[in-house]
Amino acid sequence: MTNDLKCVRCAKCVKVCLQGAITIDGKRKINRFRCDLCLKCIEVCPTGALRVAGQYVTVEEVFSEVMKDELFYQNSGGGVTISGGEPLSQLEFVYSLLRECKRKGLHTTLDTSGYANWAVLDKVLRYVDLVLYDIKHMDSQSHKRGTGRNNTLILENVHLTTSRVKTWLRLPLIPGYNDSEANIKDIINFAKEIGAEKVSILPYHEWGKLKYKQLGRRYILKVKPPSEEYLQALKKIIENDGVRVTVGS
């Protein structure tokens, strides 16, 4: 990732890049198609303007970090939430970490889209106390238009999960995509049908714009975050239908 504010135009990154992917013409530019991810530019950058986002870790390393807050969990009733990205795409890692957490008696939560074979989800749920299901859209075709996949498998998994584990539904609210009256009504009915303990409204925000810039990518979504007035009105509609609801959590 890049941070142009820290770049002092020393050109050390240009000199070590054997692919010619970095140029400086007023400001530093990176040709992502030429970059072979050798990361030599990061090694020589004196200011941290270039850095690696993320790192490889073992289950043991993550669990050790988790246990640093063991006393906090005991006093607060909190625990560990596994989220992503999609945690089920790293099944063995997530399974092993959750198993270790439950071995120590920690409360565990899985935040997932639910798009996985039931055998995968079933394996992980043995060590999960609460599932947070992100429901992007109740209409299958609209779901496919927004995500590239229909929601049949997801909804099937939600039904199977709620018979075993406490479940909350989470609605990433995106104006113009899934905030229609019909979709909100379908969410309410679905929450009642499966006995979900809560619906969480997660309003769209623009925090990702900076990350896109740091990755040299263009942010193409032209959507404005919903107003606080609209969110509170939506919250009241859902509450009046007998479903517990929160905004932003």
* Pair 153, 36 in one domain: no
* Pair 89, 142 in one domain: yes
* Pair 146, 164 in one domain: yes
* Pair 118, 41 in one domain: no
* Pair 63, 106 in one domain: yes
* Pair 38, 88 in one domain: no
* Pair 106, 30 in one domain: no
CATH number of the CATH domain containing 44: 3.30.70.20
Q: SS3 sequence, the chain?
A: CECCCCCCCCCHHHHHCCCCCEEEECEEEECCCCCCCCCHHHHHCCCCCECCCCCCCCHHHHHHHHHHHHHHHHHHCCEEEECCCCHHHHHHHHHHHHHHHHHCCCEEEEEECCCCCHHHHHHHHCCCCEEEEECCCCCHHHHHHHHCCCCHHHHHHHHHHHCCCEEEEEEEECCCCCCCHHHHHHHHHHHHHHCCCEEEEEECCCCHHHHHHHCCCCCCCCCCCCCHHHHHHHHHHHHHCCCCEEECC
Domain range for 96 is 59-247
pLDDT tens for each residue of the chain, 249 residues long: 888 889 999 999 999 999 999 999 888 889 989 999 999 999 999 999 998 888 899 999 999 999 999 999 888 888 999 998 899 999 999 999 999 999 999 999 999 999 999 999 999 999 999 999 999 999 999 999 999 999 999 999 999 999 899 999 999 999 999 999 999 999 999 999 999 999 999 999 998 888 888 888 889 888 999 999 999 999 999 999 999 999 987
Report pTM. Answer: 0.86
Helices 152-162 and 181-194 pack at an angle, to 10 degrees, of 30
CATH number of the CATH domain containing 148: 3.20.20.70
* Pair 145, 198 in one domain: yes
Give the chain's domain count: 2
* Pair 33, 66 in one domain: no
